[in-house]
Amino acid sequence: MVGNNLKPQAKTIEFWFDFGSNYSYLTTMRIEQAASSLGVTVLWRPFLLGPIFKTFGWETSPFVLQKAKGEYVWKDMARECQKYGLAWKQPTNFPRASVLPLRVALSGADESWVAEFCRQVMTTNFVDDQDVDSTDVIRSILDRMGLPSEQILAAALSDKNKLALRHQTEAAQAKGIFGAPTFFVGYEMYWGNDRLDDALQYASSNNG
């Protein structure tokens, strides 16, 4: 993948994320505006990070498994949120399950509301410190956005969409994704919120 000289056909960036990922929160809240300023379109790619961690023999986030790394990350998150002007509250439950909102995001990945939905879910997790895997919570977000919540939830919970999220996660693994957020511009992979600007610059200068 990395090093392949083939170029994508349009100014796009794939944004692979999990709602339980704290660094994905930073990216979710700023990627659309940053991409728009460069004429780049964001392709939303929700996936489950947990199954990928399990292939490494990890049952949870490395930020939990490694105490020193975890302590550093929460200090880093406070600094980064201050830098970006984002609200922040360290979640009392980390990493939170996020299967339901990921299913909703996948079902609506090509809809105009997906970016705002993702921002709302991330805010619910990392600012409001609420359970984002709750049907009531997700329904409330969709209702607040003026969307047909029951219709969207039904589509998200269909067997077809459940299988689609599994396949999306398998695709992430096949692409070599090992963490979130991860970005692809054509065949080039960038990992981490701190590489978003580099990925967008590459997308802007090399697409089309």
Looking at the DSSP assignment, which residues form a beta bridge with residue 191? 182
Residue 156: closest CA among 99, 115, 97: 99
How many CB atoms are closer than 10 A to CB 10? 11
Burial of 25 (0-12, 13-18, 19+ CB in 10 A): buried
Residues 6+ apart with CB under 8 A from 1: 175, 176, 184, 187, 188, 189
CA dihedral 73, 54, 98, 172 (to 10 degrees): 100
**179 φ, ψ (degrees, to nearest 5):** -165, 175
- Tell me how many degrees the CA angle 37-14-182 measures, rounded to the nearest 5: 105
Both structure tokens of 90: 């360290």
98 among known catalytic residues: no
Query: What is the set of active-site residues?
Result: 21
